[in-house]
Structures are given as structure tokens and as C-alpha cells.
């Protein structure tokens, strides 16, 4: 298969900094689109993968799965896109397409495992897939998404992971008017959860450990903000929530939030703490509470989310950086020194 070398940024090991690196991209096939990458969001997953914190990272690793760009070329059987269209790519670039999950539009739960945008087996070139910290990507049109007109392109990039990761569980558990919904943590995921839950019509309560984020929480759409270190403030909400979305990726007391659920309430985890979270079983038994998890969304639901964002004027709060500052951005992200998502201007990779 013919390939083209394109500029990218890669990590060569778990301890090395991201640095310039050339990668091979295939020529577009009949069903492929070639997307010039304009912006790529920086996800906490990128840090986990680059530093092999989840084990199994394949090097060299080119991260990036929050991709927004412009179609440069389209295969002769492509129906959804034409050159010049805006397009996006999220966490997946393929799946088996035949298992029950895929047939139900839940490609993220593909029983054979999705082909992730990076660090997955490359079914076309062999080796492994490379992500959006690069100047272009080739993807089957079935896994490319249309970017609705009117959305800020840089602010749209994080919707492809942070957005859909929070939108999907809120939709699945039917969050809406008349419900009291909690969001734990005001970071890249949490700030999107607040925006979506408010747009869905719920009464939104944000929980944060940082008093300095109270004003931001209210600005983003929370009706109330609770500093979770305040035991009296937490006690006032005992047994009152229909649904809580926990977006914290660090160790924390999950039982403090389970006890806030009412009968048949659900707490869904979308953060990914590195160690197991101890659960007191009686926090689940007596009020018939549920503790669940959720992983991104399928392609159709991701498109639904982008269209919803266009209607409601929702994008991520971002700080745009050049690719040359990516290692600094990783360090700042771990210090929570970003409000609330870094996005790389990929034009910087060409300069």
C-alpha cells in the first residue's frame, strides 16, 4: 500500500518527552477521507498512554483523539464528505462492525475491541495506529463525523472525547427536567458534564474540592456548588440525587457520593482512577443504589452530541497551545493548571 510521510509528535518511551517524529499515513481508499488536522485536543488519556500508566502502550506513541480538521481528499465511494468539508475524528477509527454492540451503534463496546485512534492494531499498514498530534489522518468515512456550522473549531475538538464521554451517560440514564443531578470534579470532563446536564433541564449541583472554582461552576451552568471538604454542606444533600456523574481521575472517597443518591439513584464513573475505589456495600444495598461506569459513545451518538452542541451553543472552555508546548501542557494538566482543556493548533507543526 502506498504511504506518505507526515510530521507528528511522538513519545519514544514511557519516560521520554514528546518530540518531532515522522509517521506513515496510507493513501485514501475508496471509502476513506483524508483530513488535514486543524486542531487536536489534549486528553488526560494521552498522558496515561504516553507514560504507560495503564500498561500496554506501544512506542513510538503519537497521541490525540480529539481531532477537528478539513477534508482534503475523499475516496470515490465516499458519500458523507467532499473536499473542503469540516470533519472530526474521536477515539475510534474502526470496529468489527458485525458484533451485537456494533450492530446496535455501540462501537465503543465492540466485542472484538474497537480500533482506537492511536495505540491500536493498524489493520491497513500493520504496526499500530497513530493519533492526532500530526498534520493529517486517513479514516473510513463511517468513523468520521460532520462538524456542524457555527461551532468554534478549537472549542469543538474536546467534544470528541470529553464531550461524548459525559454526554453519553447523561443520555443513557435519561437525565432531564425534574431531576437533581450531581457532577463530581470540575476539570476537562466535569465542566462539559455541567454544561450538558444544565442544557438537558436538570437541577445541577457541582462538587469540587476547590473553593476557587465556585464562581466558574456557576458560570458554566451549575445551580449550586458544594465544596466537598465541607462535611455539613455534604450532609445537606444526603439521599437526594437521582443521578451523579463522577469525573474524577484520582483516588477519592466514592462512598461520600454514593450516600447522596436517593432510592434507585445511580452514580456513574467516567473518570479513571489508577487504583480500585473501595465501596461500602451497605451504601448500595438498602436504598437500592447503582454504581456504574460508561465509556465514550458510538458514532451515531457522537454525531447527535455535535448537533446538540450546535443547537445549544456548547463547546469546551479551552486554552490553545502550539505543539511545541505539549510537554509543558502535560505537566500543567497534572497540576490542574488549565481551565479546562488544552487544544493544539496544528498549524504550529508546519512552522
User: pLDDT band at residue 43, thresholds of 50, 70 and 90?
Assistant: very high
Mapping DSSP onto H, E and C, the string for the chain reads CCEEEEEEEEECCCCCCCEEEEEEEECCCCCEEEEEEEEEECCHHHHHHHCCCCCCCCCCECCCCCEEEEEEEECCCCCCCCCCCEEEECCEEECCCCCHHHHCCCHHHCCCCCEECCCCECCCCCCECCCCCECEEEEEHHHCEECCCCCCHHHHHHHHCHHHHHHHHHHHCCCCCCCEEEEECCCCCHHHHHHHHHHCCCEEEEEECCHHHHHHHHHHCCCEEEECCCHHHHHCCCCCEEEEEECCCCCCCHHHHHCCEEEEEEEEECCCCCCCCCCCCHHHHCCCCEEEECCCCCHHHHHHHHHHHHHHCCCCCEEEEEHHHHHHHHHHHHCCCCCCEEEEEHHHHCC
132 near 65, Cβ under 8 Å? yes
The structural domains of the chain, with segments of one domain joined by +, span 3-161+297-306+316-349, 163-293
User: What is the reported pLDDT for 350?
Assistant: 83
191 near 208, Cβ under 8 Å? no
User: What is the reported pLDDT for 95?
Assistant: 97
What is the average pLDDT across 224-241?
A: 96
What is the average pLDDT across 51-79?
A: 96
Please tell me what DSSP assigns to residue 80.
S
User: What is the reported pLDDT for 238?
Assistant: 95
User: What is the reported pLDDT for 207?
Assistant: 97
265 near 287, Cβ under 8 Å? yes
Among candidate residues 334, 305, 348, the one with its CA nearest the CA of residue 158: 305
What's the angle, vertex CA 335, arms to CA 297 and CA 196, rounded to 5? 30
Distances in Å between the Cα of 332 and the Cα atoms of 158, 169, 252, 326, 350 are 17, 28, 21, 10, 24
133 near 17, Cβ under 8 Å? no
Per-residue pLDDT for 273 more than 90?
no
Per-residue pLDDT for 122 more than 70?
yes
User: What is the reported pLDDT for 126?
Assistant: 94
Per-residue pLDDT for 1 more than 90?
no
**In terms of pLDDT, which residue wins out, 29 or 351?**
29
Within this chain, domains 3-161+297-306+316-349 and 163-293 share the same CATH topology: no
What is the average pLDDT across 274-292?
A: 92
Please provide the CATH number assigned to the domain covering 3-161+297-306+316-349. 3.90.180.10
What is the average pLDDT across 159-181?
A: 98
Per-residue pLDDT for 351 more than 70?
no
The kind and range of the H/E element at 312 are: helix 299-312
What is the percentage of the chain residues whose pLDDT exceeds 70? 100
Distances in Å between the Cα of 186 and the Cα atoms of 87, 146, 228, 263, 341 are 28, 28, 12, 26, 11
What is the average pLDDT across 286-313?
A: 96
Tell me how far the alpha carbon of residue 75 is from its chain's centroid.
28
Q: Which residues contact 167 (CB under 8 A, 6 or more apart)?
A: 192, 196, 297, 301, 305, 308
What nine digits make up the cell of 248?
Answer: 474524577
What is the average pLDDT across 250-254?
A: 91
Per-residue pLDDT for 167 more than 90?
yes
What is the average pLDDT across 26-39?
A: 97
Q: Give me the chain's average pLDDT, please.
A: 96
What nine digits make up the cell of 315?
Answer: 463547546
Lowest mean pLDDT among 13-22, 124-133, 233-242, 279-288: 279-288
Helix (H, G, I), strand (E, B) or coil at 241: strand
Q: Is the domain 163-293 a CATH 3.40.50.620 member?
A: no
Amino acid at each position: 500500500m502506498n504511504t506518505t510521510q507526515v510530521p507528528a509528535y511522538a513519545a519514544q518511551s514511557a519516560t521520554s518527552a514528546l518530540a518531532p517524529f515522522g509517521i506513515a499515513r496510507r493513501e485514501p481508499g475508496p471509502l476513506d477521507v483524508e483530513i488535514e488536522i486543524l486542531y487536536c485536543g489534549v486528553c488526560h488519556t494521552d498522558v496515561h498512554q504516553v507514560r504507560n500508566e495503564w500498561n500496554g502502550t506501544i512506542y513510538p506513541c503519537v497521541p490525540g483523539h480529539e481531532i477537528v480538521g478539513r477534508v482534503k481528499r475523499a475516496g470515490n465511494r465516499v458519500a458523507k464528505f467532499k473536499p473542503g468539508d469540516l470533519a472530526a475524528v474521536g477515539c475510534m477509527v474502526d470496529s468489527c462492525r458485525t458484533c451485537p454492540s456494533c450492530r446496535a451503534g455501540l462501537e465503543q463496546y465492540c466485542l472484538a475491541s474497537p480500533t482506537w485512534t492511536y495505540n491500536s492494531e493498524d489493520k491497513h499498514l500493520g504496526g499500530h495506529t497513530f493519533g492526532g498530534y500530526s498534520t493529517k489522518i486517513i479514516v473510513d468515512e463511517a468513523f468520521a463525523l460532520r462538524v456542524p456550522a457555527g461551532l468554534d473549531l478549537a472549542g469543538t475538538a474536546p467534544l470528541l472525547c470529553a464531550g461524548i464521554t459525559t454526554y453519553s451517560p447523561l443520555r443513557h440514564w435519561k437525565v432531564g427536567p425534574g431531576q437533581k443531578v450531581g457532577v463530581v470534579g470540575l476539570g476537562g470532563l466535569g465542566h462539559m458534564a455541567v454544561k450538558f446536564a444544565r442544557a438537558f433541564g436538570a437541577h445541577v449541583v457541582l462538587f469540587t474540592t476547590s473553593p476557587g472554582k465556585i464562581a466558574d461552576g456557576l458560570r458554566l451552568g451549575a445551580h449550586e456548588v458544594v465544596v466537598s471538604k465541607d462535611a455539613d454542606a455534604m450532609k445537606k444533600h444526603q439521599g437526594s440525587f437521582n443521578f451523579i456523574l463522577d469525573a474524577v481521575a484520582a483516588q477519592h472517597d466514592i462512598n461520600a457520593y454514593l450516600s447522596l443518591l436517593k432510592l434507585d439513584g445511580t452514580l456513574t464513573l467516567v473518570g479513571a482512577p489508577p487504583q480500585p475505589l473501595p465501596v461500602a456495600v451497605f451504601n448500595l444495598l438498602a436504598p437500592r443504589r447503582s454504581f456504574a461506569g460508561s465509556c465514550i459513545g458510538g458514532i451515531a451518538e457522537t454525531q447527535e452530541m455535535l448537533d446538540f452542541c450546535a443547537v445549544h451553543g456548547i463547546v469546551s472552555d479551552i486554552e490553545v497551545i502550539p505543539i511545541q508546548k505539549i510537554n509543558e501542557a502535560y505537566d500543567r494538566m497534572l497540576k490542574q493548571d488549565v481551565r479546562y482543556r488544552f487544544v493544539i493548533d496544528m498549524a504550529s507543526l508546519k512552522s
